[in-house]
């Protein structure tokens, strides 16, 4: 009986050790993939992500979401679109869906793809997005997709009256708007204002 108890304890300890080891290995490889991606080493990222052990140990969503970001960063539009279509077939939790939908909105907005931008804007509206970010995305959609120049003029005017963080947020929004409208002069102007405002905080 004592031997049985001893072996039961040993087996339990080994099981816990394996679970802990698996957790740390998983976290290690998720972090490694993220660091390679952030550093812009696309080839190393692709080599790692195709590794059979990495594909086994890293959760599918984490891996695929990082693959999506790699495709966006390297300008591989075909693969980016394919990955967004893949995510549409997945059952995602709210946090995962929000992460994908924000990326989808930004990608298709930049591509000036009206139907897909609208799709992701509507999907985000069904989630627990905060009002400030939702308002910003609706404004971006109105200006860039619907070519609502009155909205753009209104944001420029209200920015002039603002101060502090609120003003910096609007200046950053305007920089993004002008970049998407391919107005380099105004995009750089507002980015410079954001940098100056941040430096003086």
Which spans in the chain are helix H?
2-38, 42-49, 52-57, 60-73, 77-88, 94-110, 114-125, 131-140, 149-161, 164-180, 184-199
pLDDT in tens, 141-183: 999 899 888 988 999 999 899 888 888 888 888 888 888 888 8
- Which two tokens mark 93? 């939790």
pLDDT in tens, 7-53: 443 334 334 333 433 455 567 666 776 776 777 777 887 888 788 87
- Which two tokens mark 143? 């200006």
C-alpha radius of gyration, the chain, whole number: 23
What's the DSSP call for residue 146?
Answer: S
């Amino acid at each position: 009986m004592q031997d049985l108890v001893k072996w039961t304890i040993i087996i339990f300890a080994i099981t816990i050790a394996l679970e802990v080891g698996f957790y740390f290995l998983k976290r290690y490889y998720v972090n490694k993939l993220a660091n390679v991606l952030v550093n812009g080493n696309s080839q190393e990222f692709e080599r790692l992500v195709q590794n059979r052990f990495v594909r086994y140990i890293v959760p599918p969503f984490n891996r695929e979401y990082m693959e999506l970001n790699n495709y966006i960063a390297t300008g591989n539009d075909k693969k980016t679109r394919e990955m967004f279509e893949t995510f549409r077939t997945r059952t995602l939790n709210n946090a995962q869906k929000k992460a994908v939908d924000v990326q989808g909105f930004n990608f298709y907005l930049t591509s000036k793809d009206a139907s897909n931008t609208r799709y992701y804007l509507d999907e985000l509206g069904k989630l627990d997005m905060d009002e400030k970010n939702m308002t910003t995305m609706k404004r971006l959609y109105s200006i860039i997709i619907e070519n609502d120049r009155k909205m753009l003029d209104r944001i420029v005017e209200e920015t002039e009256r603002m101060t502090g963080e609120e003003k910096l947020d609007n200046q950053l929004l305007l920089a993004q708007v002008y970049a998407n409208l391919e107005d380099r002069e105004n995009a750089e102007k507002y980015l410079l204002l954001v940098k100056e405002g941040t430096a003086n905080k």
